[in-house]
Structure 1
């Protein structure tokens, strides 16, 4: 039987993830997931671990008020409130998208600039200012917050086990930053799924996920693997014309609650 074996949320794009037993879904995926982002103060361009591996050591967790709690070694914890939807808007760029979103203020910016060691700003995306997903995949009204392209990412546990076996050591799922992990399928079975149901919520699997250098960064230490693993091994058997594929991007149709252990039904 297929079941949901793990849930992960990443409140800050490229920050530390948190393991959940239960999570709510809204129009942008898991509530609180990738609703916050760091940008260069001067250019407004987004920052990630690809260029700033130190971000892997930044704890930025969603809190009960809907805001963000920042924490890092050597820094005092800071609670950041959700900014007003139409106040202190800042122009930002994420991949090919440009948008204006609320800035979280100078206190948060100063804290994060000291941690990153360069001038940055913290921004938040409300539903009203969310991006649309990549044209040609999904539906015209599919929305995404600050995730790379789609609101959710799914990986089969057997797929991780397969690449771990080929690399020759256990790999942590957090290297691949999924939201949903499915147990009970064969390796890469998710490549052939089109629609699934978990609990009362249906999901569309719209596009395979192309992987990058971020997978080579240890999520606990921030150290990049000298042999470029697991990306080097994935390249030997998961490379396609548009990238090295591992995991499936998906969109939830409707809201609801997910709990670890729920059965998963393949609809198509």
Structure 2
């Protein structure tokens, strides 16, 4: 079993970009979902399923400047400046907190989405991550859905394997050690075409037709970081008993 793809999104909901390597810390993949867009009228993070064109935005971060590119051809590279305003909101049953930013990205991305938005930065890693800090899918299970684009599932690691390990399994991944926690519930984001920003599949409906826990449509697993380390595409993945 090996890592066939590493992915993350600097801006929550934006294109899930493939990486050659990633550093895992206790809070998750370094650079993943550092920023998000906020609905200024409702005071919450924009939901990708409500604004599927968000997946067409490319975002990069060099530690100082955030670069965002939209399909209209616009590129903005600037260092966001904290306004001093913090926003707290309910996020999947827990409180999340982000800090609003002053930058030209909000105007650019608002024009792309056709609505007013604010740019915000998380106050701590994983603040706007739904489940565990690391997510896993397998090439075999993706193929069973008739899919060829692993980016739809926005997983930290796509593993070249027919199946994923059982919850509770500890995995050595590159230099890091992670523990698989539980199945990962899904929403209609997995039906969004990453190249067009439109809903063009029925993967969620397929999952709904499978045996599953009541009220959940799982696909993939989430995990937590036990030992930090760097992971490269192609690194071996193996079950282990611990550090």
Is residue 186 of structure 1 aligned with residue 162 of structure 2?
Answer: yes
Contact 1:29–1:151 under 8 Å retained in 2? yes
Instruction: Please give the alpha-carbon distance, in whole angstroms, between the structure 2 residues aligned to 1:238 and 1:175.
Output: 22
Cα deviation, residue 145, structure 1: 3.0
CA shift in 2, pair 1:92/1:105, >3 Å: farther
Aligned counterpart, 2:237: 264
CA shift in 2, pair 1:13/1:87, >3 Å: same
Aligned counterpart, 2:127: 145
Aligned counterpart, 2:100: 103
Cα deviation, residue 229, structure 1: 1.3
Contact 1:205–1:250 under 8 Å retained in 2? yes
SS at match of 2:141: helix
Contact 1:153–1:250 under 8 Å retained in 2? yes
TM-score normalised by L of structure 1 = 0.82
Is residue 155 of structure 1 aligned with residue 132 of structure 2?
Answer: no
| CA distances 1:66-92 after superposition (whole Å, capped 9, x unpaired) | 5421110224311242545x9332334
Instruction: Please give the alpha-carbon distance, in whole angstroms, between the structure 2 residues aligned to 1:57 and 1:50.
Output: 13
Aligned counterpart, 1:24: 23
Q: 5+ unaligned residues in a row in structure 1: which ranges? A: 131-143, 165-169
What is the alpha-carbon root mean square deviation over aligned residues? 2.1
- Spell out the pairing of 1:55-70 with structure 2 (5 A cutoff): 55-61=54-60, 63-70=61-68
Instruction: Please give the alpha-carbon distance, in whole angstroms, between the structure 1 residues aligned to 2:94 and 2:10.
Output: 20
Instruction: Please give the alpha-carbon distance, in whole angstroms, between the structure 2 residues aligned to 1:93 and 1:39.
Output: 13
Cα deviation, residue 28, structure 1: 2.2
| 173, 184, 194: which one aligns with 1:219 | 194
Aligned counterpart, 1:177: 154
Q: 5+ unaligned residues in a row in structure 2: which ranges? A: none
SS at match of 2:104: helix
Aligned counterpart, 1:13: 12
Cα deviation, residue 48, structure 1: 2.2
